[in-house]
Amino acid sequence: MAVSLLSRLAASTTVPVFAVTGGGGCPLVSSLRTDPRARLVASPRHAAVLVIAGTLPPRLVGPVQSIHDQMPHPRFTALAGTQEDPTNWGKAVVADSSDPIQSVVDGFRALVAGRHASEPDWLPDSPPAEWRGVGPFGQGGEGMMGGKPFGRPMAEMAPDRDGLMLDALNVGVGPFHPALPPGLELRLELHGDVVADVGLQPNPYLELGKPAEKSYALFEQAQREAVPIARVETLRAAHLLGTIASAVEVAGLESLGRRLRTRAADPSGGDQRGLSRLRRALIAGVRWSARGVVRLPAEELQGSGLGPTARASGVEEDARLDDAGYLRLGFAPITRSSGDCLDRLLQMLDEAEQALELASKAGTGSTSGNVVEGVHGVPGSGSSPALLSLIEEHVPGLEWSDAVSFIASLGVDLQDIALAERRVVE
Amino acid sequence: MSAVASWALEVAAVVLMLGVGAYAATVLESAIARIGAGVSPGPTLLLAPLRKAAWLAKQQTVRTERPDVIGWMVATAGLLPLAALAASLIPLSSTWVMADFESGIVLWGAVEALIIVVVFLRGWSPNSTFSLIGGYRFVIQAFSYTLLSMFVLIAAALPAQSLSIQQMVVTQQGLPNLVKQPLGLPLWIVIIVGVSFRGPLNLPDGRDLAGGTSVESSGWDRLLWEAGRAPLLVVFSAMGATIFLGGWLGPWLPGPVWVAVKTLVVLLLALVVAQALGRFRPESFVEMAWTVLLPVGFIHLFQAGVTALP
């Protein structure tokens, strides 16, 4: 009786989900953030359901299996919007495409009630490498430091930014760290909380054959042919609001993130006062975590085509200035001056607001059909991959929390970047 | 009433403050989060903590590779008793306080110091990078607000000319410290948010650390930890109500009801602040604490001393 009551109560909780994003999976993950039936958790240890949203590039399969095996029992996996063969994922449930979140909820209820068996590990429970048996303690390094026992790098003494000899720790972060863009995998050398060095792993979404996100396809289409400005600008507003939402969620402002995502789902649905309230909440919320963090100088970004990131530093470049359709609407780029994390977020909000104005003024007007300003720059110009160079250049020396805020303020989207890189190759 | 019956009542009051108070605080926190998100709170929130607790009770408790198991268990189980110890110091009426002794705020300070040990131990024990960084972050955060906390408590003790918390309440007859020491409550809100590591001071468990000191926590381990964190929030709010809003003092209603109402007010203030502000940068919080908050604490102490002069 008591056990039954416990199970019923447990089954009625909001479903704790850890989501991994494959090609085409962003919309589902975004809706998981706003749907009251589920809550996205930061660690696999807190999850009951692993949602694989979209098609995973082959290189991400191993990390996803590893995430799965870190989840406590009972657990299950749901595949949503994917071209994966479900038989490759044990007893994973294929979510109903009409309401994938309800499938997740139903699966969770069945799991708690014992009607769905908890999934076993997918990987063997063994260390990533053999014990090397070298050195005085068999750890493979010198003294009690260094080496890679069982393939895991130990801390080593190294000079820190103050010239002191401290333990340097080499850790891998990503590709599904909750505060980083999906797919971004970093190799960090940490001195305590300070990132001494960073290395980026290759973009996994390059392994996917074609752009999976329909929204990116519109920007790609706009490179080749005229498309309605209203559609492009509404989509831009939605993307920018979604990017700000991700950044404020990283700062712990989940409620504000939810408001921004709700607006992003229907950018034209609210009024100007709604955007003003969002602006006030944004400034109050992130002032302490974003002001003064990584000021990007304008000269570094001249000619980079980095869209709102460059304009936040005062670079007045925008591909829409070369488009007759936009000039007819009286378009002029918005810029800011300090170029820190706070300015980048406010720049995106300004541009989302401007995009909605343009969309309402445009009527049936179309783009000229040869180039269009993408959400984070000019698609296909190699601009978006430059965001990754900014990470490599500016993250060393930052505290980890600042590094995360900086990356969030850039609006890095590896699927967008993969699209841009593919176009360069073509 | 016999001594045993009176003692039993006092224990029941502490348990009620911890249990009911923590449950209400959790519901309130979710409601504020929903309102902040532009969503109606709805009645389903009332059972949400119970449902989550039931789920955690059913979830497997996973241990990491080569953890410090004893340290981990001690840390997880340590927070709730510390909250209970702190709760036992809160006077609920002129006669009703479980641990009423002359040096009450000294014991309160000891609880604050032990909370630092417990949270650090919890970060250290799982043998996990982000968890460890979270533990260290809490230490720097707590060192930055603990001295401030002592200043605020000493300032409240000055008019009472006593370290007894009950005496601090009595001296607020007529005019609460909220008026006599206007900087005190805002400073105490910082301490509440810091000690329960929420909102802007959720440095040890932030998303940048994928959950920090709780990144490896699941099942009963997580349930026990959360069952200690929420009462801390309530107990520190109750202390704020005691030293700034006159605790049990008030007309018509019984003392414990006044304590509950005033605690709710302080709790609401702390939760709204936690909800509205994003997580601070560790470095900038430490800088702000030592260069701004601490000098403000000095001014507060000085002003409280001058006001208390006969």
Are A282 and A419 in the same domain?
yes
DSSP B135-161: HHHHHHHHHHHHHHHHHHHHHHHHHHT
Do A104 and A246 lie in one domain? The reply is no
Q: With contacts defined as CB-CB under 8 Å, which chain B residues touch A278?
A: none
pLDDT at A399 over 80: yes
pLDDT in tens, A275-284: 888 999 999 9
pLDDT tens-digit series, residues B15-46: 888 899 999 999 999 999 999 888 888 888 89
Task: Judge whether B292 is closer than 8 Å to chain A, CB to CB.
Answer: no
Last residue of a domain, one of A52, A84, A113: A113
Q: Which helix (H) or strand (E) holds A109?
A: helix A100-113
Question: Does residue A219 sit in the same domain as residue A109?
Answer: no
Interface check for A102 against chain B (CB to CB < 8 A): the answer is: no
Q: Assess whether A95 and A234 both reside in one domain.
A: no
What domain count does chain A have? 2
Min Cα separation B200/chain A (Å): 8
CATH of the domain at A282: 1.10.645.10
* pTM of structure: 0.91
- A96 with A220, same domain: the answer is no
Q: Which of B48, B209, B275 sits opposite A255 (nearest CB)?
A: B275
Put simply, the answer to whether A258 touches B59 (Cβ < 8 Å) is: no
Contacts of B56 (CB under 8 A, 6+ apart): B218, B219, B220, B222, B223, B226
Is residue A162 situated within a structural domain?
A: no
Peptide bond into A74 cis (omega under 30): yes
User: What is the chain A residue with the closest CA to B31?
Assistant: A255
Average pLDDT of the segment spanning A67-71? 94
Contact A281 B276 (CB under 8 A): yes
Mean pLDDT of chain B: 91
Give domain status of residue A300, yes or no.
yes
Q: Which residue reads 């709204």 in tokens? A: B272
Classify residue A205: in a domain, yes or no. no
d(CA B196, CA B194): 5
Report the pLDDT value the prediction gives residue A364, as an integer from 0 to 100.
85
- Does residue A155 form part of some domain? no
The residue segments making up the domain with residue A88 are: 2-113
Residues of B (114-143) whose Cβ lies below 8 Å from A: 129, 133, 136-137
Residue B60 touches partner A, C-beta closer than 8 Å: yes
What residues are paired with A197 via a beta bridge?
A189
**Beta bridge mates, A52:** A20, A79
Q: Evaluate if residue B203 carries a pLDDT over 90.
A: yes
B255 CB-near residues (< 8 Å, 6+ apart) = B91, B92, B93, B94, B96, B247, B248, B249
- With cut-offs at 50, 70 and 90, classify the pLDDT of residue A215: low
Is A10–B51 a contact, with Cβ atoms under 8 angstroms apart? yes
Model confidence at B225: pLDDT above 50: yes
B211 neighbourhood in chain A, CB within 8 Å: 41-43, 45-46
Can you tell me whether residue A76 is helix, strand or coil? strand
Domain-located, residue A131: no
Q: Which of A82, A113, A144 is the last residue of a domain?
A: A113
Q: Would residue A158 count as lying in a domain?
A: no
- Give the pairing of strands A15-21 and A38-40: parallel
| Residue B210 touches chain A, beta carbons under 8 Å | yes
Q: Is a pLDDT exceeding 50 seen at residue B293?
A: yes
- To the nearest whole angstrom, how far is the Cα of B128 from the nearest Cα of chain A? 11
Does A187 map to a domain?
no
Are the beta carbons of B208 and A401 separated by less than 8 Å?
Answer: yes
Q: Do A256 and B222 touch (CB under 8 A)?
A: no
Does the beta carbon of B299 lie under 8 angstroms from any beta carbon of chain A?
Answer: no
Report ipTM (2 d.p.): 0.90
Average pLDDT score over residue span A32-60: 92
Q: Are residues A228 and A358 in the same domain?
A: yes
- Are the Cβ atoms of A285 and B277 closer than 8 angstroms? yes
CB B142 within 8 A of CB B115: yes
In degrees, to the nearest 5, what angle opens at C-alpha A179 toward C-alphas A77 and A85?
25
Contact at CB, B278 and A6, closer than 8 angstroms:
no
Kindly report which listed range (A3-7, A230-234, B146-150, B286-290) carries the lowest average pLDDT score. A3-7
Of A324-338, A388-402, B91-105, B291-305, least confident by mean pLDDT is B91-105
Task: Say if the Cβ atoms of B217 and A45 lie within 8 Å.
Answer: yes
* Residue that is written with structure tokens 């290189």 in the block: A59
Q: Are B51 and A250 a contacting pair at CB < 8 A? A: no
* Chains A, B: CB pairs < 8 Å: 150
pLDDT digit string, tens, across residues A150-185 = 666 666 666 666 776 677 788 899 899 999 999 999
Burial per residue of B165-200, b for 16 or more beta-carbon CB atoms within 10 angstroms, e otherwise: bbbbbbbbeeebbbebbebbbebbbbbbbbbbbbbb
Whether A89 and A227 share a structural domain: no
CATH number, domain of A98, equals 3.40.50.12280
Q: Which of the listed residues A113, A145, A174 is the one where a domain comes to its end?
A: A113
Taking a C-beta distance cutoff of 8 angstroms, is the pair A240, A352 a contact? yes
Say whether B199 and A252 touch across the interface (CB within 8 A): yes
